[in-house]
Amino acid sequence: MAASAAQKVFAEALGTALLLAVVIGSGITGERLSGGNTAIALLANALATAFGLYVLIEVFGPISGAHFNPAVSMVMAGRQALPGKLLVPYIAAQLAGAMLGAWLANAMFDMDLLQISNKVRSGTGQWLAEAVAAFGLLLVILRAPAPRVAAMVACYIGAAYWFTASTSFANPAAAFGRMWSDSFAGIAPSSVPGFVAAELLGAALAVLVHRMLNARAPAS
């Protein structure tokens, strides 16, 4: 039975909240247990995020498509894979879910529920990294065989934690949510606009490249 619009929006809110709880919570755990070794903390954060993302896509994909990401929803609406009337509710649900997920992570680790990150992430390298991260994510989503999307997306994000200078947010909702936790995975509010702009640019480039790869060669 097809999910209703309300069920789809709720799935996006819940899935995004759980994703942010995984991202932020694993970052806190990694930082606390690593003894100051940032590489180990990042490895723990990356593995937990990749595993969690795979599970969440499998669980919520049949209901809402498991976007958890405004850039993904915008691309899918442009491709008419998401009804236009659901685009704004999806984005609103993703942003609200991201904030709630950050609060949940803060609460689980006995941190102040309401806090703002002071972790500045800015500069040309960081913005380029976010464009690359979002470009790769959207290209994987657009080109992966349907049965393999969850695994391929999870693997890409896990890898991108390490090969991008920004640790691969690749998601405007994630950038918004992570500013509500002053922890290992946080981002200062002043850094969020630059990240979001880079992510949207990367997503747009992925759509362009996808179309180029699908274009038929002229008849000889």
The model's pTM is 0.94
What is the overall mean pLDDT for the chain? 96
Ordered by where they begin, the domains of the chain are 5-214 (1.20.1080.10)
Q: Which uninterrupted H or E stretch holds 158?
A: helix 149-163
Round to whole Å and give the CA distance between 6 and 203. Answer: 26
pLDDT for residue 216: 72
Q: Which residues contact 22 (CB under 8 A, 6 or more apart)?
A: 48, 49, 52, 53, 56
pLDDT in tens, 91-124: 999 999 999 999 999 999 999 999 999 999 999 9
Q: Please, what's the b/e burial string for 3-39 (b: 16 or more CB within 10 A of its CB; e: otherwise)?
A: eeeeebbbbbbbbbbbbbbbbbbbbbbbbeebeeeee
| Separation of alpha carbons 129 and 83, rounded Å | 31
Question: Considering only CA atoms, which of 96, 78, 97, 99 is closest in space to residue 87?
Answer: 78
Instruction: Give the pLDDT of residue 220.
Output: 52
> What's the confidence (pLDDT) of residue 108?
97
